[in-house]
Chain A
Amino acid sequence: MYSHSHHLDDKPILDVGNLNVRYTGYSALEEISFHLHAGERVAVVGPNGAGKSTLFKAVAGVLQPSSGEVTIYGSGPRGHICIAYIPQRSQVDWKFPVSVADVVMMGRIAKLGLLGWPKKSDWEHVHRALKTVNMDDLSKRQISQLSGGQQQRMFIARAIAQEAELMLIDEPLTGLDTPSQESLLDLLDTLREQHVTVMVATHDLEQAARHFDRIMLLNHRLIAFGEPTAVMRTEILLQAYGTRLRPVDGQAGMVTLDDSCCDEGEHDHVH
């Protein structure tokens, strides 16, 4: 029913060139250029309203850039069904009358085609995905009855069921307790073994430095993009955070951050 673009292995999985997204009155993203190779794990950090969600939505083909280009394996994102955008938990209607398995099955519907119904193999995909995130026993549960960590892992299961190769995960760690954060980070390791490319928006610079290959520092512009040791330097962080940055301890030249987190959502409407 839908035509989907093929993947050419010699191309980067994601290539962003001179990306601009403008809303009425201001620029959300200016001249962003970078590329990712398959299997990389990148943390996207920056202050509130820096454009992290906007970047993810432009990469996923959800919003049209004002100018510049996003390509996935060499072609525009709107031909691909291999990109998963996982929303912030605060953006989700948790009272919607669906079970965990219903939500994970939603990841399969592009593969089913219009008018297609789930087959046995689709349910196997769903249960395998739930097993991967350690939630197989919760498949029948109504989504409002999940903990924050379970909600997050359910959405990752949905992305696995979608067979996504690029996952854009918006603030998954925000508001989770430490054990839930740990199990989520373990899950990211599992995804790496499966060669899934992951971009995670986060407020926690320390976690970003400890668990990710590269860090992208964003504040409307791309301030820095590189290995943690190269990015986590006071003079660079100051460019992104300005006075909101307070060096708390100077352990090994790393800076800890006091960022005023995180309720004001970013603007979603393009005019």
Chain B
Amino acid sequence: MFIDWLLAPLQYEFMLRGMAAAILVGIVCAVVGTYVVLRGMAFFGDALAHTILPGIALGYIISGGARDTLFWWALGTAIVAALGIGVISKQAQVREDTAIGIIFAGMFALGIALISTVRSYAVDLSHFLFGDVLGVSSHSLWLIVIFGGIVLLTIAAFYKEFMTLSFDPILAITLRLPVGLLNNLLLTLIAVTVAVSLQTVGVALMVAMLVTPAATAYLLTHRLPVMMSLAAIFASLSGVIGLYLSYYLSIASGAAIVLTATLFFLLAFLWKRMKSV
């Protein structure tokens, strides 16, 4: 009975592909998100996701609505935007969060303006904003596997450098690590993650995938590798449970995934509160 309930959605190939995408994206977002949470970069992640909209819109107009090339447009825009925000935040005329806020809203508006020039844009716009995980093609799935894999391998390779730089940047300087390079590498990894996650949750909900599972894990552990693993587990579970909710309750998939992740966070938060009383 329950088994049937579980298996019913899986007879559809698009559901299987959606599940795979949601799990993979969840893992990548969770691991990268660990650093986003520890370094207090949630606003940066949110801004970055929104800032890529004009790039996607441009690709959408140029390709005449084809979906498979959009990943590359998203990737290119995300990397440029991430490094650009990095440069802007270093100059001192305007406060960093103010500068990011101005650029992110401006770019987001530009993206919407561009897409609105296309007739019948509403459906596609909502897919960019909120994701369309059930529309993931096998081509897109492969891109998620490859680029998600690159992100995870890079995080693993520079594990001790990123940990040290995040905990004590002054130590990283006195150990003469290439601090500027490593910071830009981390920004680039967040950018790639945003591009990889675009189709699953969309730009508007991206920050939830970056922040919520990692924040949930942070409530439950005091060790970095455990935090990354727990975050990955919460994120994958959110992806799977979210898709079942989406299937049976007919709600938008991206929203269902994010709501599930949020529920995990609330449960962990309450559990922690009860334990400390």
A is bound by B: yes
Chain A residues with CB under 8 Å of chain B are 2, 4, 57, 60-62, 78-81, 83-85, 87, 92-93, 96-99, 102-103, 105-107, 109-110, 112, 114-115, 117-118, 142, 144, 158, 162, 269, 271
Is B221 on the interface with A (CB-CB < 8 A)? yes
Which one of B158, B177, B226 contacts A110 once the chains associate, using CB atoms below 8 Å? B177
- Proximity string of chain B (225-241) to chain A, C-beta cutoff 8 Å, 1 when within and 0 when not: 01100000000000000
24 contacts between A and B (CB under 8 A): A60-B174, A62-B173, A80-B176, A85-B170, A85-B174, A87-B168, A96-B167, A97-B218, A97-B222, A97-B223, A97-B224, A97-B227, A98-B167, A98-B224, A99-B222, A109-B161, A110-B175, A110-B176, A114-B161, A114-B178, A115-B157, A117-B160, A118-B160, A142-B222
Question: Which residues of B are found within 8 Å of A2, using beta-carbon distances?
Answer: 176
Mark contacts of B199-229 with chain A using CB atoms, 8 A cut-off: 1 yes-contact digit, 0 otherwise.
0000000000000000000100111101100
Q: Which of A78, A97, A158 contacts B176 (CB 8 A)?
A: A78
- C-alpha gap A98/B178 in the complex (Å): 22
A4-B177 Cα distance, complex, nearest whole Å: 12
CB contacts (< 8 Å) of A142 on chain B: these are: 222-223
* Nearest CB on B from A196, distance (A): 15
- The winner among B166, B218, B222, B223 for most chain A CB atoms within 10 A is B222
Q: Does B109 contact A (CB under 8 A)?
A: no
Q: Report A97 CB to chain B, min CB distance, Å.
A: 5
Beyond A97-B38, A97-B223, A109-B160, whether A81 also contacts B170 by CB under 8 A is: no
A256 vs chain B, min Cβ distance (A)? 33
Residues in chain B within 8 A of chain A (CB atoms): 38, 92, 157-158, 160-161, 163-164, 166-168, 170-171, 173-178, 218, 221-224, 226-227
CB–CB B174/A96 < 8 A: no
Contact A99 B176 (CB under 8 A): no
> What B residues does A99 contact at CB under 8 A?
222-223
Give Cα distance in the complex from A107 to B167, angstroms.
12
Contact A83:B222 (CB < 8 A) given known A92-B168, A106-B164, A106-B168: no
Contact yes or no, B174 A97, CB < 8 A: no
- Choice from A98, A144, A158, A162 contacting B163 with Cβ under 8 Å: A98
Residues from chain A with a CB closer than 8 A to the CB of B161 are: 109, 114
A240 to B149, alpha carbons, bound, how many Å? 58
Q: A80-B176, A98-B167, A109-B160 are in contact. List 17 more A-B contacts (CB 8 A).
A: A60-B173, A84-B174, A87-B168, A96-B38, A97-B223, A98-B223, A99-B222, A99-B223, A102-B224, A106-B160, A109-B164, A109-B177, A110-B176, A114-B158, A115-B158, A142-B222, A269-B92
